[in-house]
Amino acid sequence: MQLERGSINPGESAIGGVGLSGTASKTASAFTYSYASIDPNAIITTGPGLSNWQWASVRFGWRGPVQRGQQISLWLLSPMVNFLLGFLRVGLIGLPAFRVFISIRTMSRPPALSAGTVAALLAILIFAPTVAPPANADFPSDAMLNELQSRLLENHDCSPNCASIPRMQIQVTPTSLVARMEIDAAADIAIPLPGSATGFNPVRVTLDGKDADAMVRTQDEFLWLLIPAGKHEALLEGALPQVDSIELPLPLKPHRLQTTSEGWTVVGVHEDGVPEDTLRLVREVTAGQKSNTSLQPGELPPFMRVTRVIHMGLQWEVDTTVERMTPNDTAITLQVSLLPGESVTTPGVHVENGKVVVSMPPSTGLVEWRSTLKIAPSIELKAADSTLWTEVWQLLADPMWHV
C-alpha cells in the first residue's frame, strides 16, 4: 500500500477512509476529520496579509465610592527615568540600615555583672538538677501495659488479603506438571489453587510434606485448599491432557514465578518473573511430527477477533481491539503481533518481542489499547498465521494523504 502527501482539490471531501476486512466491518463514514489538523509543510493560500497590532496594556483598579466628576491622571515615564528611580529606591532603603550600623558602633560596652549576680547564676546551674521531681515508676500501670499488649496482638480483619504467594515454581514435562508454592497466611483461610477441572487438574496436593485433605471444588471449577495461619509450602502434581494447548488460570497470582519446561512453551510470564492472570501452555511440535489432530471430546477452542483501526493524519495512530467470539467461561492468553513501527502507549499493556501479551480471565470479553505508528512511505498489513483469531483492518486517512 503506497502512501504520499497531497493537497485538497476543489470538491473533495474532508472525510477520508478506506475499510479493509475479510468480514463485515464498520463503515468509514462514522469517522470524521476537520481541517484543524493542518500539515505544517503544506502550502496553503490564506489571502491578503492583514496586520494585527498588539500594544502594551496596563490594568489598574480601585475600591470604594467614585464621584461623578472625579478624574484620574496618568504619568508616563521614560525608561531612563525609571532607571534613576530604581537607584533612588535602593538608596532610600540603605540609608536606615546605615544609620542603624552607625548607632551600634557608637554604643558603649554593657556594664559588667557583679560578683553576687555571678554567684547566683552558678548556684542555679549546680543545684537545679537536684530540685527536679523524681521519676514515677508507677506509670504506665500494669493495666495499661496489658491493654496495649492485647491491642498489639489481637487478630485484625485481613480480608481479602489474608494470604499471598511470594514465590512459585512450575516444572512442565511432556506428560505432567509440578507446581511448588510458598504461602503466607495471616489467618486460617482457604485459597484457590492453580488449574481448573477442564484443564490441569492436580491428582496430588501436599501441604508442608503431608497429603492435604481439607480441599473442596466450587462451582467455578477451582480447587480450594484450607491453609492454617503461618508460612507453608504446597506441592501440586498432575498429568497433562493430550492436547496442543492448555490454559492454566492463576486465581491467586504469585508475586514471582519461575518456570522450566520440556516439550511445552509457557506463555504469560514477564521477563522480571511477574505472571499474568492466566498462563498458556503450547505443545512444541518437532520437525516431521504432526500435531494432535485426533478427535477428542471437549469444548471448542477459544476464538478471537482482532480489529486494527489505523488513523493517518499529522500523526499516525492505531487503535487495536481484541474481542472474544466464543463464550467467556474460560481464560485465554495469546500474543498479538504489532505492525512495523508500532509502539504501544496505553499503560499496563505488556509487550514482549514485538508482540502484545493478551490475558483474558473468564469474566473478560474485550481488551483494547492505543499505539503510535511511525510515518513511512508504505504500510505492510499482513494477517498473522494463526487459527485463534481473525483480523479486521480499517484505514482512515486525512486528505493530506493519497492512498
CA 50 – CA 47 distance, rounded (Å):
9
Q: Is residue 336 located within the same domain as residue 233? A: no
315 with 344, same domain: the answer is: yes
Assigned domain for 54 exists? no
In a domain, 314, yes or no: yes
- How far is it, in rounded angstroms, from Cα 191 to Cα 158? 14
Instruction: Say if 6 falls within a structural domain.
Output: no
Residue 5 lies in a domain: no
The answer to whether residue 31 is domain-embedded is no
Average model confidence (pLDDT) across the chain: 77
**Which residue type does 43 have?**
I
Report if residue 344 sits inside a domain: yes
pLDDT of residue 113: 53
Which letter does DSSP use for residue 142 in this model? H
The answer on 345 and 244 residing in a single domain is no
Question: Is there a single domain that holds both residue 309 and residue 278?
Answer: no
Calpha distance 24→46 (Å, rounded): 42
Residues 231, 331, single domain; the answer is no
**The C-alpha cell that represents 402 in the structure block:** 493519497
Which residue from 264, 276, 293, 253 is spatially nearest to 335, judged by alpha carbons? 276
Both 265 and 342 in one domain: the answer is no
259 & 338 share domain: no
Residues 259 and 321 in one domain: no
User: Number of H helices and number of E strands within the chain?
Assistant: 3, 23
Residues (pLDDT < 70) of the chain are 1-40, 42-49, 106-139, 152-157, 159-160, 286-300, 329
Q: HSE-up of 9 (CA within 13 Å, CB side)?
A: 5
CA atoms within 13 A on the CB side of 198: 15
What CATH number has the domain bearing residue 328?
Answer: 2.60.40
Specify whether 385 is located in the same domain as 329: yes
Rounded to 5°, the CA angle 364-366-371 comes to 135
Q: Which of 283, 317, 339 is the last residue of a domain?
A: 283
Indicate whether 265 and 171 sit together in one domain: yes
Could you tell me if 213 and 269 lie in one domain? Answer: yes
Length of the chain: 403
pTM: 0.47
Domain containing 178 equals 166-283
Is residue 132 domain-resident? no
Specify the number of domains making up the chain.
2
Alpha-carbon separation of residue 47 from 28, 71, 149 (angstroms): 33, 45, 84
Which candidate, 242, 368, 254, places its Cα nearest to that of 317? 368
- Torsion from C-alpha of 42, 46, 47, 49, nearest 10 degrees: -100
Q: Residue 251 has what pLDDT?
A: 86
DSSP letters along 72-125, please?
-------HHHHHHHHHHHHHHHHHHHHHHHHHHHHSPPPPPPPHHHHHHHHHHH
Same domain, 170 and 203: yes
End-of-domain residue from the set 283, 313, 344: 283
Beta bridge mates, 247: 280
Specify if 94 maps to a domain.
Answer: no
